[in-house]
Amino acid sequence: MEQFKGQARLPKFAVPKSYGIRLKPDLTACKFAGFVSIDLDVVDHTKFIVLNAAELSVDSGSVSFTTRGISKVLEPSRIDLDEEDEILVLEFAETLPIGIGLLRIGFEGTLNDKMKGFYRSTFEHNGEKKNMAVTQFEPADAKRCFPCWDEPACKATFKITLDVPSELVALSNMPIIEEKVDGHLKTVTYQESPIMSTYLVAVVVGLFDYVEDHTSDGVKVRVYCQVGKANQGKFALNVAVKTLELYKEYFSMPYSLPKLDMVAIPDFASGAMENYGLVTYRETALLYDDQHSAAANKQGVATVVAHELAHQWFGNLVTMEWWTHLWLNEGFATWVSYLATDSLFPEWNIWTQFLDESTAGLRLDGLAQSHPIEVEINHAGEIDEIFDAISYCKGASLIQMLQNYLGAECFQRSLAAYIKRYACSNAKTEDLWAALEEGSGEPVNKLMNSWTKQKGYPAVSVKVEDQKLVFDQSQFLSSGSQGDGQWIVPITLCCGSYDMRKSFLLQSKSETLDIKEFLKDKTDAASAWIKLNVDRAGFYRVKYDEDLAARLRYAIENKFLSATDRFGILDDSFALCMARQQSLTSLLTLMGAYREELDYTVLNNLISISFKIARIVADAVPELLDYVKQFFIGLFQNSAERLGWEPKPGESHLDAMLRGDLLTALAIFGHDLTLNEASRRFQSFLEDRNTPLLPPDIRKAAYEAVMRRVSTSERSGYESLLRVYRETDLSQEKTRILSSLASSPDPNITLEVLNFLLSSEVRSQDAVCGLRVSMEGRETAWKWLKDNWEHISKTWGSGFLITSFVSAIVSPFTSFEKAKEIQEFFATRTKPSIARTLKQSIERVHINANWVQGIQNEEHLVQTLKELAQRK
Ligand code: BES
Ligand code: ZN
């Protein structure tokens, strides 16, 4: 036994070839009984079979191993289930013969409430609360449902049989081949699957309605929804059918199963899960309601569906060899979901919105407490933590950078070759690089290793010196200190026009580029700008010298630059400011150049940056806060007036999303007219939930505005919102409300809201939506977290949702004393599942604290701010 403990991976004396799994869930008692028969290939002389199992009680009398050939039934002499290592060790009296044999195990388990393994979710039907049974196995929780080799490389076929109440819908990865009803129970048998990893096996048993369609080559696609709500599945169904057809072309490989089901699950830890042929979703990520969903919800559904379907090829057909390569799965699916969404909805400008992903990656990777994309995994418990912005956002951005460098056509061709080569098998990061290297003739492996094997990224600083550009790279850290990483950076630049382009690989720390030919005839201000990292396609930041920065500001004001470039300049400038490499004064001046900004993504980033600045100024120089607010209100007012409160006939999707974001910003900054108008419209909404005065796209703004005016002595807005929350049965409406509730400036209300999140009225998956408390509620939230830590840790501690509690409540602080206090509190309470998030959040507090001090020492801030605030 001891020899098998403490290992990252199972010993491979025997490997599974095919599983027969029979499960009988009891939805009333929340238990299940199961039986597996596994065809094994014994490849080494051994007396042991070691596989995974956890939280299962194995019926020892049922365990046997039958050798093939001279058929002989062996019973184990010893059975050990080690809960710490989650392994089941079977010891036999004699050495097992090399070759195929059949392992049988009977077991029982609990349908748990932890949203992982085989779990229970609840729903209401005809006013009655009911249970459903659902699986969620990624990353390594199949072993909580049946004993198995729970590692992505141990692929096998699966033949599943379910014994369930006859009135329920029972789904699994493959189509049903037989259904036998026997009184209240039915036995449902599914086709055997192609070879696949355990984390993709799935079962759903509950009450559902569905809508159905086919792809042009006959794949049957269904969306399962709550009874009576099948209409809400139509949008996702349409996206799914088109996306399957698109990916078939893109990967030069058809979808490999005969059917695809997509199901909305009321209790669901992540957003969605790509189980082979049976994709599960949170309701908010799958259902679209014409009356009550916002444009942002629609876009969310489309991108999540496109993401999960991408996994059917990238992840399910070709699977990462080990979790170290998780980013291949997630980074790639994220990137390609934009490709699909762009093809389906070109008017969404989704590639501009992709910048939100790269920015999220850059933000997390600017911390010293970040990690390399390829990260060593020594224990299953460490896997959850890497489903983060590094794997998803940095991963997707690196793919984007590489595709840009190699060219779209060559990239796609090589990718198709990779999919073909590794179909039904496993691959590592370097296998993808090899395929791309073969297809392009470029040194992909060398280039990309510098990005995936070390954490962080460079800031490239650039200046002009006698008609030459001088580049210098150094690792960017938000703390302001310099790391010692170095990268091979694909540099692109434009001078004065998008036709004047140059690109090269920056392979050393510094380099010089002659731009004489570019500069001739460029003496006027209009054509004198130089923009690096064109379209922000590279995963790095750029630091311009003052002269170049001023030329760019001029180019922004005069609308010479693309939205992606305007975004990049603003975002880099903000990051440099936080790292105290640029003054707040100059950042604010730059922001002033965006007064006439129209692009959704750019404005949206301008808004989130303005929130952060307002929060930091409130701590650094509180007496300037009113000027800051006034400046920001002035910055957004024009656009908000252009869009008005109600949708214009035929207006764009992006304007619909932008309207809500602008009004939210004006409400948060205390713009009286906006607050008044919001409360007027909210009143009409209370009288009639279908009023045209409060369409879904502006509801969040109205809710925030209402909560900004709620206090202990004026509670009516809060109570009305709770009423709407209780009455609606649309999860998107519920989460919209939850995410606005903590905006009240009155800490007593904040406390009430936080306690409400812990009540039985809020599903545990949703509680994390309500943690973004107002500036004024920050301290209350921290005290609340401490007071309730035991309960929170018990309820959310076994999944990744707990990290949101830590990051949302800890990161907004801005002093070293607070950081110390937080550290002391967690000293005795930390555990592996929050360790990394906690360190990152505390690092953010330190960064904020340094930033506050930097701002306090700025000389020209007051004067500049007053000027900016007055300008109209
Ligand atoms: N494979 C993940 C689901 C997952 C996440 C499993 C974390 C285990 C732990 C799925 O493909 C995914 O990435 N879902 C995203 C949505 C996506 C559109 C970014 C999610 O759940 O947030
Ligand atoms: Zn994914």
* pLDDT tens for each residue of 766-806: 999 999 999 999 999 999 999 999 999 999 988 889 999 99
Distances (CA, A) of 179 to 182, 190, 230, 492: 10, 9, 24, 60
**Does residue 522 surpass a pLDDT of 70?**
no
Pocket test for ligand 1, best of 114, 198, 268, 273 (most atoms within 8 A of CB): 273
The residue contributing the CA closest to ligand 1 atom 13 is: 330
- Tell me whether residue 308 is one of the annotated catalytic residues: yes
pLDDT in tens, 298-321: 999 999 999 999 999 999 999 999
The residue contributing the CA closest to ligand 1 atom 5 is: 270
Cross-strand bridge partners of residue 35: 22, 106
Q: Helix, strand or coil for residue 131?
A: strand
d(CA 223, CA 240): 9
Ligand 1 neighbours (beta carbon < 6 A): 138-139, 270-274, 303-304, 307-308, 311, 330, 333-334, 387
19 φ, ψ (degrees, to nearest 5): -110, 135
What the block records as the tokens of 367 is 């911390």
Determine the average pLDDT of the residues in 541-546.
Answer: 96
Please report the atom of ligand 1 found closest to the CA of residue 308: 11
Determine the average pLDDT of the residues in 95-108.
Answer: 96
Please report the atom of ligand 1 found closest to the CA of residue 274: 11
The residue contributing the CA closest to ligand 1 atom 2 is: 273
* 396 Cα: distance to centroid of ligand 2 (angstroms): 11
What is residue 528's predicted lDDT score, i.e. its pLDDT? 87
Sheet architecture: strand order including 99-110:
72-74, 56-67, 99-110, 31-42, 14-26, 157-165, 185-190, 176-182
Q: Closest Cα partner for 143 from 102, 198, 190? A: 198
* 222 Cα: distance to centroid of ligand 1 (angstroms): 20
The residue contributing the CA closest to ligand 1 atom 8 is: 138
Please report the atom of ligand 1 found closest to the CA of residue 139: 8
**Does residue 347 surpass a pLDDT of 80?**
yes
Distances (CA, A) of 67 to 52, 100, 604, 641, 816: 21, 7, 64, 77, 65
Lowest mean pLDDT of 49-58, 322-331, 379-388, 795-804, name the range: 379-388
Q: pTM of the prediction?
A: 0.97
Residue 190, Ramachandran bin (φ over 0: left; ψ between -120 and 50: alpha; else beta): beta
169 φ, ψ (degrees, to nearest 5): -85, 130
Strands 157-165 and 14-26, how do they pair? parallel
Cross-strand bridge partners of residue 160: 21
For residues 602 and 378, the model is more confident at 602
**Does residue 441 surpass a pLDDT of 90?**
yes
Pocket test for ligand 1, best of 330, 336, 341, 377 (most atoms within 8 A of CB): 330
**Does residue 467 surpass a pLDDT of 70?**
yes
Domain ranges of the chain: 1-119+130-197, 457-552
Residues 122/124/129/130 CA torsion (nearest 10 deg):
-50
Determine the average pLDDT of the residues in 232-247.
Answer: 98
d(CA 566, CA 494): 13
Pocket test for ligand 1, best of 141, 274, 387 (most atoms within 8 A of CB): 387
Q: What is the mean pLDDT of the chain?
A: 96
* 373 Cα: distance to centroid of ligand 2 (angstroms): 15
The residue contributing the CA closest to ligand 1 atom 18 is: 304
pLDDT in tens, 831-854: 888 999 999 999 999 999 999 999
What is residue 160's predicted lDDT score, i.e. its pLDDT? 98
Q: Helix, strand or coil for residue 866?
A: helix
What is residue 511's predicted lDDT score, i.e. its pLDDT? 97
* 71 Cα: distance to centroid of ligand 1 (angstroms): 44
Residues 694/696/701/707 CA torsion (nearest 10 deg):
80
In a 13 Å sphere around the CA of 370, the CA atoms on its Cβ side amount to 29
Q: How would DSSP label each residue in 746-757? A: -HHHHHHHHHHH
* 392 Cα: distance to centroid of ligand 2 (angstroms): 8
Distances (CA, A) of 659 to 352, 673, 685: 18, 15, 18
Please report the atom of ligand 1 found closest to the CA of residue 311: 11
d(CA 135, CA 404): 38
* Residue 507: how many other CB atoms lie within 10 Å: 14
d(CA 64, CA 291): 57
Burial 851-868 (b: 16+ CB within 10 A, else e): bbebbeebeebeebbeeb
At 399, is the pLDDT very low, low, confident or very high (cuts 50, 70, 90)? very high
Please report the atom of ligand 1 found closest to the CA of residue 270: 21
**Does residue 382 surpass a pLDDT of 90?**
no
What is residue 525's predicted lDDT score, i.e. its pLDDT? 67
Architecture per CATH, domain 457-552, reads as Sandwich (2.60)
Q: Which ligand is nearest to the CA of 338?
A: 1
Q: What superfamily in CATH does domain 1-119+130-197 come from?
A: tricorn interacting facor f3 domain (2.60.40.1730)
Please report the atom of ligand 1 found closest to the CA of residue 387: 7
**Does residue 872 surpass a pLDDT of 70?**
no
Q: Which ligand is nearest to the CA of 305?
A: 1
Determine the average pLDDT of the residues in 75-85.
Answer: 96
The residue contributing the CA closest to ligand 1 atom 10 is: 273
d(CA 589, CA 617): 15
Distances (CA, A) of 459 to 363, 399, 471: 13, 19, 10
* 302 Cα: distance to centroid of ligand 2 (angstroms): 14
Q: Which candidate in 138, 308, 374, 385 is catalytic?
A: 308
Distances (CA, A) of 837 to 467, 511, 831: 46, 37, 11
Please report the atom of ligand 1 found closest to the CA of residue 392: 19
* 225 Cα: distance to centroid of ligand 2 (angstroms): 21
The residue contributing the CA closest to ligand 1 atom 3 is: 273
What is residue 871's predicted lDDT score, i.e. its pLDDT? 81
Q: Closest Cα partner for 145 from 108, 180, 179? A: 108
8 A C-beta contact, residue 514 and residue 468: yes
8 A C-beta contact, residue 154 and residue 142: no
**Does residue 205 surpass a pLDDT of 70?**
yes
What is residue 494's predicted lDDT score, i.e. its pLDDT? 95
Q: Which ligand is nearest to the CA of 304?
A: 1
Distances (CA, A) of 840 to 58, 372, 811: 41, 14, 8
Share of the chain above pLDDT 70, in %: 99
**Does residue 423 surpass a pLDDT of 70?**
yes
What is residue 799's predicted lDDT score, i.e. its pLDDT? 87
- Cβ neighbours of residue 536 under 8 Å, at least 6 residues apart? 355, 358, 564, 565, 567, 568, 571
SS (H, E, C) 690-730: CCCCCCHHHHHHHHHHHHHCCECCECHHHHHHHHHHHHCCC
Q: How would DSSP label each residue in 390-413? A: IIIIIHHHHHHHHHHHH-HHHHHH
Distances (CA, A) of 413 to 205, 317, 390, 418: 40, 18, 26, 9
Fold: same for 1-119+130-197 and 457-552: yes
Sheet architecture: strand order including 169-172:
117-125, 128-136, 203-206, 169-172
Cross-strand bridge partners of residue 14: 42
Q: Which residue has the tokens 């042991």?
A: 48
Q: With residue 72 as reference, give the H or E element that holds it.
A: strand 72-74
Residue 311, annotated ligand binder? yes
Pocket test for ligand 1, best of 138, 243, 270, 297 (most atoms within 8 A of CB): 270
* 419 Cα: distance to centroid of ligand 2 (angstroms): 17
What is residue 839's predicted lDDT score, i.e. its pLDDT? 97
Q: Closest Cα partner for 545 from 575, 582, 574? A: 582
Determine the average pLDDT of the residues in 486-505.
Answer: 95
At 323, is the pLDDT very low, low, confident or very high (cuts 50, 70, 90)? very high
**Does residue 521 surpass a pLDDT of 70?**
no
8 A C-beta contact, residue 462 and residue 491: no
Angle, helices 429-440/444-452, rounded to nearest 10 degrees: 150
Q: How would DSSP label each residue in 243-259? A: HHHHHHHHTTS--SSSE
- Cβ neighbours of residue 733 under 8 Å, at least 6 residues apart? 292, 699, 724, 725
SS (H, E, C) 661-698: HHHHHHHHCCCHHHHHHHHHHHHHHHHCCCCCCCCHHH
Q: Closest Cα partner for 120 from 249, 20, 268? A: 268
